[in-house]
Structure 1
């Protein structure tokens, strides 16, 4: 059985929008019909809040249509024949005097066929303010391509000089998006762990990133690729252009105590940093986690033997699976990769599953598989609930079911490992 919700996957246009929306005080303008803006604006404002109340009279301008982010030129059939120049000029006249650090204009796939000179229009209208135009986002290729291509275009536009900073323990974090469910918590935790090792984070590309900080991205001695699907191409560009080497963790993501320890130790070895304080903290976290797991296990035998399903990118699927099997003793029933995933860690996952003789769980139908815990996005979890499956759902991707996170959360690092232990134990109990 095929479900429509499984086919709702972001493409290159969404990747480009959320890449540039991740820059503080930017205006990302879509040269598109109104239908292209509403989802992007809603998700961006949900993840990176700009308005304090849902008043339909807020942002009444025809370009914004009641939403605070991602205005659009509301193209219609005549614009596809005669061009979008006049609508672009009209909206640029409206926004050019706003207090903003960057104006980005992105063509929707249809608008990219019109042939308007976006760069020329921007130059004539706002040449005294930083701007970038994205003529095409690769015609509905993957989210990851659109995200990386747009940021590489922006970095090329900045035209930075080569800068050598080999004496300072300063890094950039590459490959973070405001479309990551827990991006804020991810950034805070990785920064905190690196700080324990006296390593300074120079710039995060690209989520909640200050534009002036972005212009200093070439002043780091190492780039850390956090989510490889969102950062490998960018890291390669920065290596070639500015001779900044990069570290990409070959085990996926720092999820779980073992992978977190290996991740931080690898960076410390490269940066010649002392990780003693980090080791002390992670050992305390392991001890705290063990107490709760041991108590539950003594009463029920769980979580060992509990079953789980995962639907996500290959890097997440591998890292979660590694933690759940090797730390908890749980059993995977189904592991799916989302559509358009570049499969960077498919072989790692196959090798892990082969060690336990359970390769057949890969790419089973998650909608027809029953497990005690399901790690996925809100769409899949809600569909399984509608199918009357009895399980606990743990969201690891967007779209969300709407849980409001007041405190920034993460599944990465030490705090993320503890949160996962908490969610697994409570998921099994309730």
Structure 2
């Protein structure tokens, strides 16, 4: 039976590979792909965001009907190689869904004529962008690190694996992880593939510790390096453990302990202030939902629900999410906050929900290039709580009586009585709305029901009439 996929929110492995390889500054990628794949990054998924710049180091073979139907793309690929070789960059050839459909595999040709140029089969038809990134990072390690004994480790150095084009909030979260590493008295040696090159991949093995930014990808490459590695943290407990583990692995336990004490007195002070203040009384009433990549979906749930005591109604990871079921969940129970992607914002708009939407993943027309919007680490806990409390204040502001310059006309409409059954239905509907807005929501719904009753000539508000309001 055919399954309909609603609002695809994950790109293919081709784009995962391209967004990985193009981040290396000494690489030029040749995509065995149709016209357009060199500047419109993302098609239905990663468009309209400046997380991905114009990729000047990406050139397509520009497959046409001729190459697909008869000649293949080998001839065109060789022409492009000759054009690009004078640039002096290392060339990598990547397959696309279209080239895979016609069985284009240039490994043998490249080995014979261009032994310094490597072919990466992206498996675009079989894998998503996250597995594509994971395999691309590991492939770079196995391809460009020569076999032999590992070089001597440089004490006090840490390398970070993960930041690639197309990762939500990457600049800001990367800045926070670098801050935490520096706070332990350690030096960030390499950021792979950002701020790296093919020549530096082998240098990753000199790092005393490796930090993997994302849960979706990077662990395979870290294992190949043969160095101790730890996962970038989300929330209070994880971040504390992260700092302690950095200290233990590098023999700087005292520096790590001192840094944690400093963090509690400085970076984390706003968290304690909010926790001790009246705002914390709202936290148990806050109901939220999450739909994002695994790092952010699981991290938000752990921090906001497990540590801050808020109610998580649902938590979906993008590659596994059934958007039809997610939309149904939003229809049944609307969260006060929705951390999500553009599809989720669309569903909320369709339902005329009172939910506050907070971007937490791509796709979406959202700019996340500033360094002051972290979700990870200690700074991330402050930023997230700040966003939530400010939104709660916004909600309260809407309850304030405002004296308008032009007073609304007084309407002397007769009161319409409610049946007991209708009042019970109203209570059930209102209970599903975000807690802090239930009063205004119920008042608005009551006005609409009474207006509809008067319009249609009913003498009472019944459950049937109330349910017609949606």
Q: Tell me the TM-score normalized by structure 1.
A: 0.78
Note if 1:15 corresponds to 2:3. Answer: no
Instruction: Please state how far the C-alpha of 1:88 moved relative to its aligned partner.
Output: 1.0
Instruction: Please state how far the C-alpha of 1:192 moved relative to its aligned partner.
Output: 1.5
2:121: which partner in 1? 135
Residues 187-266 of structure 1: pairs in structure 2 closer than 5 A: 187-239=174-226, 244-247=227-230, 249=231, 254-266=233-245
Q: Which of 1 and 2 has greater Rg?
A: 2
1:269: which partner in 2? 248
Q: How many residues align?
A: 380
Instruction: Please state how far the C-alpha of 1:31 moved relative to its aligned partner.
Output: 0.5
Q: Quick one: which of 123, 126, 132 aligns to 1:146?
A: 132
Asked whether the 8 Å contact 2:169–2:369 carries over to 1, the reply is no
1:380: which partner in 2? 344
2:388: which partner in 1? 424
CA–CA distance in structure 2, aligned partners of residues 186 and 36 of structure 1? 28
Encode CA deviations 1:196-217: one digit per residue, 9 max, x unaligned: 1122222222234344433411
Give the unaligned 5+ runs of structure 1: 51-66, 342-361
Partner of 2:375: helix, strand, or coil?
coil
CA–CA distance in structure 2, aligned partners of residues 165 and 420 of structure 1? 41
1:47: which partner in 2? 51
Partner of 2:87: helix, strand, or coil?
coil
Instruction: Please state how far the C-alpha of 1:426 moved relative to its aligned partner.
Output: 1.8
Instruction: Please state how far the C-alpha of 1:120 moved relative to its aligned partner.
Output: 5.2
Encode CA deviations 1:244-272: one digit per residue, 9 max, x unaligned: 2333x4xxx52222221112212222222
CA–CA distance in structure 1, aligned partners of residues 139 and 271 of structure 2? 44
Note if 1:105 corresponds to 2:93. Answer: yes
1:88: which partner in 2? 77
Instruction: Please state how far the C-alpha of 1:48 moved relative to its aligned partner.
Output: 4.8
CA–CA distance in structure 2, aligned partners of residues 216 and 169 of structure 1? 14
Q: Tell me the TM-score normalized by structure 2.
A: 0.72
CA–CA distance in structure 1, aligned partners of residues 223 and 29 of structure 2? 25
Note if 1:71 corresponds to 2:35. Answer: no
Asked whether the 8 Å contact 1:23–1:211 carries over to 2, the reply is yes
CA–CA distance in structure 2, aligned partners of residues 156 and 104 of structure 1? 14
Give the unaligned 5+ runs of structure 2: 395-470
CA–CA distance in structure 1, aligned partners of residues 372 and 114 of structure 2? 37
Asked whether the 8 Å contact 2:283–2:309 carries over to 1, the reply is yes
Instruction: Please state how far the C-alpha of 1:421 moved relative to its aligned partner.
Output: 1.5
Q: Quick one: which of 279, 284, 292 aligns to 1:304?
A: 284
Note if 1:288 corresponds to 2:267. Answer: no
Does the C-alpha gap of structure 1 residues 209 and 336 become closer, same or farther in structure 2, counting only changes over 3 Å? same
Instruction: Please state how far the C-alpha of 1:19 moved relative to its aligned partner.
Output: 1.4
Partner of 2:86: helix, strand, or coil?
coil
CA–CA distance in structure 2, aligned partners of residues 166 and 403 of structure 1? 38
Instruction: Please state how far the C-alpha of 1:309 moved relative to its aligned partner.
Output: 0.3
Partner of 1:230: helix, strand, or coil?
coil
Instruction: Please state how far the C-alpha of 1:193 moved relative to its aligned partner.
Output: 0.8
Partner of 1:322: helix, strand, or coil?
helix
Q: CA RMSD in A?
A: 3.0
Asked whether the 8 Å contact 1:372–1:392 carries over to 2, the reply is yes
Partner of 1:46: helix, strand, or coil?
coil
2:455: which partner in 1? none
Encode CA deviations 1:98-149: one digit per residue, 9 max, x unaligned: 253x32211113313545553455567766xx64321343632122221122
